[in-house]
Amino acid sequence: MAAVQIFPNNPFEENTYIVYDETNECVIIDPGMYTASEQNVVVNFIKDNSLKPVALLNTHCHIDHVLGNKLIFDLYGLKPRFHKGEMDVLDAVIAYAPQFGLRYDASPLPDEFLTKDGWVTFGNSTFQIIFCPGHSPAHVCFYDEKANHLIGGDVLFRGSIGRTDLPGGNHQLLMSNIHEKLFTLPDDCVVYPGHGPETTIGFEKQYNPFFN
């Protein structure tokens, strides 16, 4: 069964994820490594656990989630995969990175885009793609039914939701997608968000102030 390792990175405290299973194949999701020390922690985890990276996935393409895309490509030859509706978001990063005082090594572009209702497989594991825009124009989440966990990006947080005041954001769309696509998952499904601690679907249905 797939295991999840979390690495908080960059000034936005974004959660980078490595998900791997007993085959030692792994996927890297939203690599936000910025400093050399952040990069080393992720790379050393892969090396020390004899993992084989086979996919680079982005839930969406805001700057804090793509800062490490170029590094992952340089080290492992993996181009990112995300929904094509995020291309404008990625294209904008190079212009606004200096506004945050951040150095940005431009992300490679996908050879293959994710679809709204497809699947990503690695090792003995499978992610169901859940198309969940609202925080960004074409945000996706990754649900592993067997492990019963969701890599949720910036859709749903512990006690909060993703901001919708950025270009391409839509508050009503985000709320309806959470209701219709995430809150239909099992209550004990663990949600690994793009920022902050993990939570569960059941906890958020009961206690998240945006839904009560």
Q: Nearest 5°: CA angle at 13, between 11 and 17?
A: 130
Task: Supply the range of the domain harboring residue 151.
Answer: 3-211
**CATH at residue 165:** 3.60.15.10
Question: Which single residue is written with the structure tokens 């209701």?
Answer: 179
pLDDT digits (tens, 9 = 90+) for 68-83: 999 999 999 999 999 9
Output the six-digit token pair for 167.
Answer: 């270009």
pLDDT digits (tens, 9 = 90+) for 78-115: 999 999 999 999 999 999 999 999 999 999 999 999 99
Query: What is the total count of domains within the chain?
Result: 1
Question: Over 90: is that where the pLDDT of 4 sits?
Answer: yes
Query: 95 φ, ψ to 5°?
Result: -80, -40
* Predicted TM-score (pTM) above 0.85: yes
**Contacts (Cβ under 8 Å, ≥6 apart) of 12:** 32, 63, 64, 195
Alpha-carbon distance values, 81 to 41, 103, 186 (Å): 23, 22, 27
Exposed / middle / buried, residue 95 (Cβ in 10 Å: 0-12, 13-18, 19+)? exposed
**Contacts (Cβ under 8 Å, ≥6 apart) of 58:** 29, 30, 65, 66, 69, 80, 81, 82, 86
